Amino acid sequence: MDTNFIVLLCVLLGGLSNTTIQFLSMIIRTNEPIKFDSKYWATFGISMVTTIFAAFGVFMTLPIPTDVPVLYVAIPALLSGYAINNVMNLGLDTYQAKKPVAPVS
């Protein structure tokens, strides 16, 4: 299998795993029935587009050597997908939690 394809697949799996972990942790923390928050799909999509474009940029300038084991490339790709998705989720949570300031009169 092509190494670039494995890297892109690992990036997607990293983002999907973060989305799944966020949802499962929400289920564990609450006692009420919850539904899947659509913001996770939005942040998953945005982070995947961002990561894939970044990966294309990196692989165009720094090609993967053929003698490097696939595991050495797959693990950082998995972690980058997870990390970028986590940053997007945290940014969106922070933006949504920000309260509007009442005007001073």
| pTM metric for this prediction | 0.70
Q: How confident is the model at residue 26 (pLDDT cuts 50, 70, 90)?
A: confident
Residue 103 lies in a domain: no
CA atoms of 28 and 1, how far apart (whole Å): 38
Per the structure, how many domains does the chain have? 1
Nearest CA among 93, 85, 94 for reference residue 43: 85
CA atoms of 83 and 101, how far apart (whole Å): 31
Residue 100 lies in a domain: no
Q: How confident is the model at residue 16 (pLDDT cuts 50, 70, 90)?
A: confident
Residue 90 lies in a domain: yes
Residue 31 lies in a domain: yes
User: Structural domain of residue 29, as residue ranges?
Assistant: 3-95
Residue 91 lies in a domain: yes
Residue 7 lies in a domain: yes
Residue 105 lies in a domain: no
**Report for 16-25, 48-57, 89-98: range of highest mean pLDDT:** 16-25
Residue 74 lies in a domain: yes
CA atoms of 10 and 18, how far apart (whole Å): 12
Q: How confident is the model at residue 105 (pLDDT cuts 50, 70, 90)?
A: low
Interval 57-100: pLDDT, tens: 766 677 777 788 888 888 888 888 888 878 877 877 787 777 66
Instruction: Give the mean model confidence (pLDDT) for residues 19-32.
Output: 83
